[in-house]
Amino acid sequence: MLTTLSDRGQTAIPARIRKRFKLKAHQQLEWAEDGKVIYVLPVAKDPIAAFRGSAPKGVTRTLLANRREDAARR
């Protein structure tokens, strides 16, 4: 996809990208650079809710088991 930068430094986000990532008007975007690459990342309105459920399955069970083992050693 190709977009053009305006004289004021503005560009449009293609509709396909907006729909895929559910971007809405007034949503904040984070611009990051890494050498010669530019990344545009959507900022979640509620970062805690966006992070919820992203841990691998079973990680909570493993964490609790490890804590019980540590407590038993003491």
* pLDDT digit string, tens, across residues 20-34: 999 999 999 999 999
For residue 62, is it within any domain?
Answer: yes
- What total number of domains does the chain contain? 1
Q: Where are the beta strands (DSSP E) in the chain?
A: 29-34, 37-42
Arithmetic mean of pLDDT, 63-68: 92
The amino acid at residue 4 is T
d(CA 14, CA 9): 16
Indicate the pTM of the whole model: 0.56
Structure tokens at 63: 């964490």
For residue 36, is it within any domain?
Answer: yes
Q: Which residue has the tokens 């650079």?
A: 33
Structure tokens at 21: 């990532």
How far from each other are the two terminal CA atoms of the chain, in whole angstroms? 59
Arithmetic mean of pLDDT, 24-50: 89
Question: 68 lies in which domain range?
Answer: 15-73
